[in-house]
Structure 1
């Protein structure tokens, strides 16, 4: 099973830069998308239902803001829209597809431009994560968490310790997710190298991404029992339809 996750940073703009061509060439079972910045009813059928996939979307109340989606080859048994608290649901930050053995979610954390709002979201989201890890069902939560966890996860970390996305309280929150709560960062199960970034704040299209300073803000996170199913993980730096890069993980499971 192959799952891709990408923050498109505006679905219509990403389509104009080749997103649908990229999607068609992925051979992925599920593609999780975030930050659509569009209402689903505004989108063409070519975006909503690309060949071979069923599209599911959650729209934010505010126009041109947030939004998450899932492209699924196999129709899920159920779709869960939101998490039940207004900050998440009104801003369209969580969408989940349920299959027989596990669930796959597309997730978008607030970016931290309003740190008080981000902290409130993290507090409520932590309650959800604490409940989910105790359930018998397994979860794969994919998306932009807007936090670089370790110093290895961003360039110039020493100069960014008060920058949203790398503040001590945010990193301590991630320590809880990957520590006592028991969740697994699937990418770091496979790749422990430095300079593995999924977002470039000042992306220069004329310079290869591996030579630019970035942050790793995107994750596919699973519970401790799912660790053994992670086969491979990589970042597709060649996909340039967004300032974010796709994160792709393969699991030794079938939908």
Structure 2
């Protein structure tokens, strides 16, 4: 099973850059997209529905804001949107495809953007996610949560880590959240199952020559429950072609849908 997650920062602009032709070429079983910045009714055109895939969208009431999608090659048993709390459900931040033994979700966490009010929203979202992860552990199925978490896990996952300790995305409370998720609850950072190298980034600032110099952060993850994390066979950050400031993250699992 091949799963690709990508923050498109506007699905309409990404489509103009060839996103859907690229998706067909990659031949993944599922694509989890984030930050669509479009309503579902704006995505009726055939360009947004590549042959061989079912498209499922969850948008936000606000225009040009947030939104997530899952493109499925195989018919899911169910599609679920939202996680039961306002900061997620009223902002188009989560959609999930359910199969026999596995659920795959596309998630977009808020960005603190070095703004105290926005960071407070992000912190509250993380509190809800912490509780949700605990509930997930009691369920009799496996999960993969794909998307933009807007958190660099460790110093090797961000440029200039010492300076960035004061910036949103690498704050102590954000790293503590990930420590609980991975170290205490036992969820798996699937990329790190097969790649332990430094400076493996999925996002770069839009200014200067950040991408060329590889000055960025690893903000995009596929987080799996413990048993499914053992099924990782390969992982790759696909830096080009570029559809946004984020790179696509591809993980291959030893599993058939």
Q: Above 0.5 in TM-score?
A: yes
Distance 1:47 1:128, change over 3 A: farther
1:238 pairs, out of 233, 237, 240, with: 240
State the aligned residue count.
253
Q: Does 1:155 align with 2:142?
A: no
**Residue segments in structure 2 that go unaligned for 5+ positions in a row:** none
Q: Does 1:215 align with 2:217?
A: yes
Q: Is the 8 A contact 1:98 1:104 kept in 2?
A: yes
Deviation at 1:39, TM superposition (A): 0.3
Q: Is the 8 A contact 2:20 2:48 kept in 1?
A: no
Deviation at 1:48, TM superposition (A): 3.5
Question: C-alpha distance in 2, partners of 1:230/1:84?
Answer: 29
Deviation at 1:226, TM superposition (A): 1.2
Query: Secondary structure, in 3 states, of the residue corresponding to 2:205?
Result: coil
Match of 1:66 in 2: 66
Deviation at 1:46, TM superposition (A): 2.4
Alignment of 1:48-63 (within 5 A): 48-63=48-63
Query: Secondary structure, in 3 states, of the residue corresponding to 1:71?
Result: strand
Deviation at 1:21, TM superposition (A): 1.8
- When normalised by structure 2's length, the TM-score is 0.95
Question: C-alpha distance in 1, partners of 2:243/2:203?
Answer: 12
**Residue segments in structure 1 that go unaligned for 5+ positions in a row:** none
Alignment of 1:1-255 (within 5 A): 1-113=1-113, 114-202=118-206, 209=211, 211-255=213-257
Query: Secondary structure, in 3 states, of the residue corresponding to 1:55?
Result: strand
1:46-78 deviations in Å (ceiling 9; x for gaps): 244211100000010111100000000011000
Question: C-alpha distance in 1, partners of 2:189/2:93?
Answer: 20
